[in-house]
Structure 1
Amino acid sequence: MLVGIVGGKLQGVEAAYLARKAGWEVRVVDRKRRVPASDLGDSFAQADVTVENNLAAVFGDVDFIIPALEDDNALRSLTHWSRKTEVPLAFDPQAYAVSSSKLNSGDFFRQIGLPVPVAWPQCGFPVVAKPGRGSGSKGVCIFQDFDSLRNRFLPAFPPPDWVVEEFLDGSQHSLEVVGRPGNYRVLQVTDLYVDQNFDCKRVIAPSNLPLRLIADFENLTLAIAEALNLYGIMDVEVIFYRGEFKVLEIDARLPSQTPTAVYWSTNQNMIGLLGDLYAMPKDDFPPAGDILRGTVYEHIQVSGAILKICGERIMTEGGPLNLQGDFFGADEALTNFVPGKDQWVATLIFSGTNRHQAWEKRNRCIAEIVRRLKIKEVIDSQPV
């Protein structure tokens, strides 16, 4: 099967990587040539997909399209062309319209009675402010007092297009769900770790949460999918704080980072499941199996003699990535590293029989990079 992946940034990296693992032929499409995913498929097409007249030449021979971007104009163009040509597009416009806006999704959470952080000014400080549009940590700010919050947004205060809510210092977790109304599969709960900018720097699977809490999170995620009438894929991010989950955000599109961690831990390929749903419709998904390995998925940035563990945004800064096996002891790496280069980034993937073994492998890999490249300082950035 030939799949077209639209978008060559972080979601595109995830989609191309997993599509190749599924054994598919992959064509990556982006308006720019040197993007992180451009060399991860079998072919690359440079095209502006917001111009519908461009689409036939790019996608005329594909079996299935996966949008891996959050550009509204591109998504509208792809949706219209897909409906006209009947080429399957892994996209749910209604669910995405809710999840792509933190304001809309916040209203949705309250309507269906989900546990969420308390909105300011009903809460005390510290508070977190998030842009109302977009996913992830971009633009997220923490404020310790009223004056710093007000001064950041004056003269438009309170900020009309932002979410401001209580800051909760708990453990963060993610879970994906794939399917259609009445037939959903939840995947694996993963544990998330963030850097000083609250950007996810590391994913570990399986989760350290007790089984009863994993079951609670699964039921919560299924309830959201059903209420949203989801047709496709969605991830749910929560924080566990003082004995309960609080829903932070949902994204009704292919996420980055966690699908690869889940693949290595369980051998369940979310891209393959999307293909089952959209391109090869079946009454049910294939059995999940019982594989459960420890997995660590982590981003590093090397600059001269400094190695820093950072959030995933660093992976957009170094041009095309390539897949390398046995990378300083990591099972696999997505990286722009070449010998002699002193500025590079990598996503490192480690697998073991359990979390502890995967983490020990990770430590040996970092030590090997330090030894061979004469690194003087290792910084594991933390929220401040």
Structure 2
Amino acid sequence: MDIDLIREDFPLLDNIAYLDNAATSLSPEPVIRAMNEFERHYRSNVGRGVHRLTTIATQRYWDSHIKVAELIGGEDGTTVLTKNTTEAINMVACGLEWHSGDNIVTTVLEHHSNFLPWVHLRKKGIGVSTIEPFPDGMIDISAFESAINENTGLVALTHASNVLGNVLPVKEIASICQEHGARLLIDGAQSVPHISVDVKKTGCDYFCFSGHKMLGPTGTGILWMKETDIDPLLLGGGAIDKVSLDSYTLAEGYQRYEAGTPNIAGMIGLGYAVDYLRKVGMDNIERHEKKLTEKVIHGLEDMEQVHVYGPVEKSARIGVVSFNIEGMHPHEVSHILDEGSDMITRSGEHCCHPLMEYMGLPNGTVRISMYLYNTEEEIDLLLATIEEITRRL
């Protein structure tokens, strides 16, 4: 990886050290150019008509679906454009047929987007079992073996925690699900941007993730399905094959789940983001982030007044590190890093209130999340700034 060359595609990095990638990553110039090209040269709807503009737009929109599917090894399934991971998960929650007595298994680690849709189903008589992790965020496989039974309709869990950075053993959990005939939904919002993912090898039924965390534009997300076995959340133009006064026939493939005019420029931009990631190489990105992550953790662990959260085993995590400084509110630390050293970090509960309560952290944490364009020099400055903060306490 040529980090200097990569950073040329992200002008914002001239002024700041951007370390909030778990929330939203930056978009490189090729992605922005691709979206602008759509708006300037062939803006039109997709799948409507046969004129030259819609022909180009439809082809490139379709191509982007293929690019995304190939990135996650999902060519044999159905790849649907959504607004974000949240919408993708809700589409499954609303689209499956539920019966009173069904049970859903999830974990305390989940982002609200992969927790609230299942809790909401309790109103329909659906049970929700929540597995607690070890203090470092890791989960014992035996906990899933105990929780999943013949009443389990779905297991929904994160691939990698957006707070602790730990990667869950999703393949092993998928095997348990298959033994009991339970479906598996994986929230891949934090994994797809940072590590190689293959949904075929994983063995999941649904895989959800967001474009804005993987160099793509905001307002883009993906629902990948092994089988098109959920009802569409919306009905309307583009989602149907035929309509009469008395009935309708849904379109085939992803179209049946994309009623109305979609975010065409966004999906084309997401396709270019995939091109960018594949050109750099997901293995290269993962190695780079692991190096930075180890540097951050080792540096923070050497500071007496700093508490670092997450797994001790560095190989079992992505480039997300949460910490606190004794006697300081996380927001205060994040503000100092921003104002004093131009470092953009996240502070608070990270949309994981149950996990923060479980860990006894009512104010949350400061979170550093790295990506392909971050450098060792930025990490050195980060650690020096934090050390200076602790010195003044």
Query: How high is the TM-score relative to the length of structure 2?
Result: 0.30
Looking at secondary structure, tell me which structure has more strand per residue: 1
Choose between structure 1 and 2 for higher RCO, CA contacts under 8 A separated by at least 6 residues: 2
Query: How high is the TM-score relative to the length of structure 1?
Result: 0.31
